[in-house]
Amino acid sequence: MNDNQPYCSSLPGTVFVNPNQRYNGCKRNYTEELCKVAEETSSYSITDMEKMTWDDFPYFKNSMSEEDCTKSCLQDCNCAGALYESGDCKKVKFPVKYAKRLEGDSSKVFFKFLFFSSLSQELLRPECGWEAEILAWPMSSL
């Protein structure tokens, strides 16, 4: 929410499916093929956001350090991001449906995003075929 109005913004590593209709959600800004051909994790980075969570069911959950959680997501082509909370790492795939800010919460969300390079520009297309990967990001008032 932004001034008590629903607000949709793309998350790091994503673009709007249709920039003119933001509530259609977001998709990856790179193809899965790029993830498979990129050398190790050098083409990706992680950005974090505190006091964030999502309601999506994780495909992976394990107790580990925050550093190991980010490394695990970087090395996993399926990982869109990870929720780190109370020593647990919970990785999710696209689509991430409802990411939200929770004031007073101690959780942290990590989002994987692509560094732009000559390799990534070849495989980075707005029409990369992820239209089914819908993402809404309601935000609370700051």
CATH code of the domain made up of 14-123: 3.50.4.10
Evaluate if residue 113 carries a pLDDT over 90: no
Q: In the Cβ-directed half-sphere of 10, how many Cα atoms lie within 13 Å?
A: 19
The CA distance from 45 to 27, in Å, is 17
Evaluate if residue 75 carries a pLDDT over 80: yes
- 4-39 burial code (b ≥16 CB/10 A, e <16): eeeebebbbbbbbbeeeebebbbbbbbbeebbeebe
Which segments of 26-79 does DSSP mark as H helices, in order?
A: 32-37, 66-74
Confidence (pLDDT) at 85? 92
Confidence (pLDDT) at 97? 66
Confidence (pLDDT) at 39? 54
Res. 125 pLDDT band, cuts 50 70 90: very low
Res. 134 pLDDT band, cuts 50 70 90: very low
Given the DSSP bridges, would you call strands 52-54 and 81-85 parallel, antiparallel or unpaired?
unpaired
Structural domain spans, the chain:
14-123
Amino acid at 115: F
- Determine the average pLDDT of the residues in 66-84: 91
Total-model pTM:
0.68
Confidence (pLDDT) at 130? 33
Determine the 3-state secondary structure of 81 from DSSP: strand
